[in-house]
Amino acid sequence: MGYVKTAILMAAMTALFLAIGYAIGGGAGTLIALAIAIGMNAFAWWNSDQMVLRMYNARPVDAHTAPELQEMVVRLADNAGMPVPKIYVIDEDQPNAFATGRNPDNAAVAATTGLMRRLSREEVEAVMAHELAHIRNYDTLIMTITATFAGAISMLANFALIFGRGRNANPIALIAMMILAPLAAGLVQMAISRSREYEADRLGAEICGNPLWLASALERIQQGAARIDNDRAEQNPATAHMFIINPLHVHKRDKLFSTHPSTHNRIAALQKLAAEMVVSGMGASGGGVSRGSGGPWG
């Protein structure tokens, strides 16, 4: 169901983009809008991952500089049947993580030092499994495209005031388009982001083998994000949707303007999945929510 919802929302985003192009310049405007969309998405497809990693000063690690993290990600990627992504660490006290990249063969996962210091090994493993799920589901590509479309819609809506003033143009309608079109695009982008988080939670729980590890990790990260500032994220709020938990201090429920589902709802879904795994005989390795006080590297 998550994939169907995502497809419908992306179709709505595309239709809105083309409709604005048509409103500005008729059929020619639609073609111009389409050309702009292709160009912007091609640029984002090739460059967005490195741009974001540089934005957060992420440093690459390997078997020599972070052997336990490397071993963990390699093992989880093998469980998921996917290539091992590049691994990065961000020197940031707020516990959090994200994935980026255009496809599973060209992807990266990034974890903050706060995540590794504050969470147990099982919780970190569950978080990495969640990020691998995003990569395997091509969510990193989907969210890059939707973010690019949302930005392009805002740009076209502003162009409407400049190029849409023909004899039959209604100035009130143009102003309404300038305000409502970016708002609608943002709502669709956020809805897509929320739906992909639920899917990544489900698949990530299967990859690590215990939904309760991820439920515990989400609770800890939520608590950390609520009281520890992430200055780079605050300066670049457009990247907030990439993180496993919103790094900004603005989210509490499943609101229209939230990039993430309610953490409470995500935990409840994972607890339900754990119960279903027990009933089906799959079990949930580890036997419960991990409550270790320290990170896996001391």
Catalytic residue ranges: 131
For Cα atoms 102, 262, 79, give the angle at the middle one, nearest 5 degrees: 45
Q: Pick the closest to residue 144 from 261, 260, 46, 29 (CA basis).
A: 46
Can you spell out the DSSP letters for the chain?
A: -HHHHHHHHHHHHHHHHHHHHHHHHHHHHHHHHHHHHHHHHHHHHHHHHHHHHHHTT-EEE-TTTSHHHHHHHHHHHHHHTSPPPEEEEE--SS--EEEEEEETTEEEEEEEHHHHHHS-HHHHHHHHHHHHHHHHTTHHHHHHHHHHHHHHHHHHHHHHHHH---TT--HHHHHHHHHHHHHHHHHHHHHHHHHHHHHHHHHHHHHHS-HHHHHHHHHHHHHHHHHS--HHHHH-GGGGGGBSS--SS---S--TT-SS--HHHHHHHHHHHHHHHHHHT---TTSS----SS-TT-
* Structure token digits, residue 194: 């929320």
* Structure token digits, residue 22: 């048509």
